[in-house]
């Protein structure tokens, strides 16, 4: 059930785990804000909220928490509104999360990993639910949900790239099958290859790792391997019209050699393209190694700090115990 009211905007608060953040600098948001600020248009649809309470210095304070409509609310704030219409929903925590999930499912700006973390919160808040139960609630298939939950196995660096749309969800699902340290080796490929090409590449590496584990060995470190990758249509058209690259590339070759050289260039297996790809691979590997070293140092430092804190705590407890014992009558 819901009840439509007009409430003071100061009594409304964003949801602390909102599904989509607001990018105030984006063109879409600025257009929304300008539309709402226009007296001839204004806020066309009320936002959805639920009533909440909290204790502040012993006093019970009521407010409205946003379920859906954070962008409209923010635009109203920037447009100078003092009150806005709202639909007050009688939702509990799980129902509020589900409403966000369903309401944002088809919005392209929703970030895949953030979306999945909300799904995880719903499961966590309902221990008796299965993936099938959740699938029914959010109108998705269990297979789709299991693939999405795989995104939570990604290294945080990769998760950020997925949410920034630099890695497609389909490639991310495949990439999640690798351990974190291996995922970082495939970032560039995940960003540039299609699933048809990227999937088999990752699956081959997964197979290598599994076979090495069965044999009780460590998988060999990923080495550079030149991979055929068709050039973009625009590159081929530009070269067809200009004839700059291939003319230079095949100028001293026999017809058959020239044909193979042109084909190699078209799939980026010519010497220059291979050398460029290898240089990029080496640069990426060095960056990954540096990141691993940094994380290792951070873990070591954290472990040392925890050990120091534990030792100090034990020392304080021992001192307190000795003090208590000294105070006891003999």
**Mean pLDDT, rounded, for 255-283:** 87
Interatomic CA distance for residues 179 and 157, integer angstroms:
13
Percent of the chain with pLDDT over 90: 7
Domain at 4, CATH number: 3.90.1530.10
Domain range for 320 is 233-327
Q: What is the number of residues in the chain? A: 330
What is the phi-psi region of residue 69: left when phi exceeds 0, alpha when psi lies from -120 to 50, beta otherwise? left
Confidence of residue 106 (pLDDT cuts 50, 70, 90): very low
Interatomic CA distance for residues 208 and 185, integer angstroms:
15
| Residue 182 falls inside a structural domain | no
Confidence of residue 153 (pLDDT cuts 50, 70, 90): very high
Q: Choose between 324 and 169: higher pLDDT.
A: 169
Please state, as a whole number, how many other Cβ atoms lie within 10 Å of the Cβ of residue 315: 10
**Mean pLDDT, rounded, for 56-83:** 86
pLDDT tens track for 187-222 = 888 888 888 888 888 888 888 888 888 877 766 666
Instruction: Report yes or no: 167 and 175 within 8 Å, Cβ to Cβ.
Output: yes
- What pLDDT shows up at residue 101? 64
β-pairing verdict for 2-8 and 83-89:
antiparallel
Listed residues 57, 73, 92: the one ending a domain: 92
Dig out the tokens for 33 from the structure.
């804000």
- Whether residue 1 is predicted with pLDDT greater than 60 in this model: the reply is no
Instruction: Report yes or no: 152 and 117 within 8 Å, Cβ to Cβ.
Output: yes
β-pairing verdict for 59-68 and 47-56:
antiparallel
| Residue 56 falls inside a structural domain | yes
Instruction: Report yes or no: 228 and 268 within 8 Å, Cβ to Cβ.
Output: yes
| Cβ-count burial 143-175 (b if 16+ within 10 Å, e if not) | eebebbbbbebbbeebbebbbeeebbbebbbbb
- Whether residue 294 is predicted with pLDDT greater than 50 in this model: the reply is yes
- Across the chain, mean pLDDT equals 82
CA angle 322, 325, 329 (to 5 degrees): 150
- What pLDDT shows up at residue 219? 62
Q: How many domains does the chain have?
A: 2
Confidence of residue 330 (pLDDT cuts 50, 70, 90): low
pLDDT tens track for 237-246 = 988 898 888 8
pTM of the model: 0.47
- Whether residue 234 is predicted with pLDDT greater than 80 in this model: the reply is yes
Interatomic CA distance for residues 32 and 89, integer angstroms:
24
| Residue 145 falls inside a structural domain | no
| Residue 118 falls inside a structural domain | no
| Residue 103 falls inside a structural domain | no
**Least confident residue range of 83-87, 96-100, 281-285:** 96-100
Q: Which residue has the tokens 């890695």?
A: 167
| Residue 76 falls inside a structural domain | yes
The gap between the terminal CA atoms of the chain, to the nearest Å, is 70
Listed residues 92, 111, 126: the one ending a domain: 92
Q: Choose between 169 and 216: higher pLDDT.
A: 169
**Mean pLDDT, rounded, for 245-267:** 87
| Residue 176 falls inside a structural domain | no
- What pLDDT shows up at residue 152? 92
Instruction: Report yes or no: 48 and 86 within 8 Å, Cβ to Cβ.
Output: yes
Listed residues 39, 63, 92: the one ending a domain: 92
| Residue 78 falls inside a structural domain | yes
């Amino acid at each position: 059930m819901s009840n439509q009211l007009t409430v003071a905007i100061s009594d409304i608060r964003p949801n602390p785990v909102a599904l989509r953040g607001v990018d105030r600098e984006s063109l879409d948001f600025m257009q929304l804000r300008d539309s709402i600020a226009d007296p001839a248009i204004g806020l066309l649809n009320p936002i959805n909220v639920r009533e909440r309470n909290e204790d502040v210095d012993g006093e019970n304070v009521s407010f409205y928490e946003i379920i859906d409509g954070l962008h409209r609310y923010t635009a109203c704030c920037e447009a100078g509104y003092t009150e806005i219409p709202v639909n007050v929903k009688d939702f509990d925590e799980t129902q509020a999360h589900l409403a966000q999930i369903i309401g944002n499912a088809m919005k392209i700006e929703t970030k895949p990993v953030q979306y999945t973390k909300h799904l995880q919160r719903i499961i966590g808040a309902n221990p008796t639910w299965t993936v099938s139960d959740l699938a029914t609630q959010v109108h998705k298939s269990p297979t789709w949900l299991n693939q999405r939950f795989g995104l939570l196995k990604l290294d945080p660096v990769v998760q950020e790239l997925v949410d920034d749309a630099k890695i497609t969800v389909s490639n991310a699902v495949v990439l999640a099958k690798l351990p974190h340290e291996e995922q970082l080796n495939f970032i560039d490929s995940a960003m540039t290859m299609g699933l048809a090409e990227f999937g088999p590449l990752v699956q081959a590496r997964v197979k290598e790792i599994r076979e090495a584990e069965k044999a009780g060995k460590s998988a060999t470190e990923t080495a550079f391997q030149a991979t055929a990758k068709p050039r973009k249509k625009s590159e081929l058209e530009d070269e067809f019209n200009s004839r700059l690259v291939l003319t230079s590339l095949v100028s001293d070759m026999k017809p058959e050699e020239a044909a193979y050289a042109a084909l190699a260039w078209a799939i980026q297996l010519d010497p220059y393209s291979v050398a460029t790809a290898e240089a990029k691979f080496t640069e990426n590997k060095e960056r990954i190694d540096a990141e691993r070293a940094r994380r290792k140092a951070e873990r070591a430092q954290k472990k040392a700090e925890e050990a120091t804190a534990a030792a100090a705590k034990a020392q304080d407890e021992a001192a307190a115990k000795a003090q208590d014992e000294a105070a006891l009558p003999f």
